Chain A
Amino acid sequence: MQYQLDARGKQCPIPVVETKKILAQMTAGDTVTVAVDNPIAVQNLLKMAGQKHLPAESRTISPTHYEVVLALSEESLASPAPEAPAACIPAARSSGTVVVLSSDEMGGGDSVLGKALMKAFVYALTEQDSLPATILLYNGGARLSVEGAATLADLKLLESQGVEILTCGTCLNHYGLTDQLAVGSVTNMYAIAEKLMQAGKVIRP
């Protein structure tokens, strides 16, 4: 399959980050053609290709339009994959599914029940055959990924299986929990918007 990515108008490292996402979907024989608007971005893409042992070539179409073609060959698949941590059970992660936890309660009604349901939901997620690619936690959801949260152990388990756990930094700060984040990493609205826009499926319990 031949993939296309137009990363013109995007600053480094965005072209490389988006190319990596496409590479993760590719199989041997596939290529991706990335359009960028400056020669430095070409060099950064070729640098990544070199490190990942991917055959790559670039061409200049105009002074503000360059193309880099990266191929995924049998040999490059055989060399050690840099994304080793996520690769242990790649098939179990459903690509593009994003779970949004925007509260520490599931559903509206009784607050004690809501918290118990949320804990049960996160546990149930760990038991699914197909895991989400990303879990976004914002607003009240930020309370789920911090020290002492009832959901912490299950979120850690999900993270160890390659699920990306991202908690909104502004929200942690708002609730005074910035120092207590205990799983995954902090994110910002730019990244949250991008994750949601690029999601194949968004699950909001």
Chain B
Amino acid sequence: MIRIAQSALLSRHRFHWPEALFWLAAVAVYFLFPQYLAIATTVLIVALFAVSYNLAIGFAGILTLGHGLFFGIGAYCAGWIALLGWTEAVSGALASGIIAALVAGALGPFLLRLTGLPLIMVTLGVSVIVYEAANKASWLTGGDDGLTGFTMSPLLGAFRWSVFGDTKYFYALGWLFVLFYAVKRIVASPFGVSLQGIRENALRMRLIGTSTLRHLVIAYSLSAGVAGVAGALSAQSNAFVGLGVLGLDMTIDGLVIVVLGGIGTLYGALIGAPVYMLVKHFAQQWNPFYWMFVVGALLIVVVRFGRGGLLGMAQAGLAWLIRR
């Protein structure tokens, strides 16, 4: 199972100085690579999605292969909220996240009774169903053409959504910052610790009096809410929602990032997202199909040899160096 040092469990809610590096790096990117702000914004959004996926799969142990569903719901909600005339971005994203969380809360009591293969299968099945339904319901989703033609009003009434993308970038960074620390608090709370207990041994948690299903449903909706906000950010910053947000690719991207960064480690998503998105960006320019080899090999190598992902490997390497 996933190893957690006891000290890490107790000190997890504290602020660690190395964390500041990520936020500093994110701000530095704005000044150093202004021409790459569009892809950098995508990286932040995908990182937020990975944070939410990690909350479900890494901390609560919910083996879901359908998390992209909530990203997609968030994206379409944000698109429609803007199309209906409410163009304020922050509340739009918040409302989209809440809707995604409500959907997860409604599905959860049915899905989360299952474990293992049936759970994987049903979550995958549900996301395939919704994708097909969205494809058919073009009055709602725009079908293949997607939702377009909405513009957001200036952020907080002051910052216009310029073509340079700096408003988008800091908007996404702000959401990632706030929700990352929210998830961090959740994970370190008694609720979060009991989620990890359920992940390790659901039966034992039930025997000591935890209502496991309720815990899992709450975790699932919280995670879906964060994923919904990520989807909303993608809709608002691209001013476009396509069927791709509901596709399996989105889920797989999030999953690979979580695995790459280290399942059940909070910072993993923050480190995995830039690495994965950059590799993907350049590998796809090289040849889109060799990309499949890269993803497959990455997954197999990290799962087989690198317990704890890049971060775990780095820690192990560091420990090895210190021992020498």
Interaction A to B = no
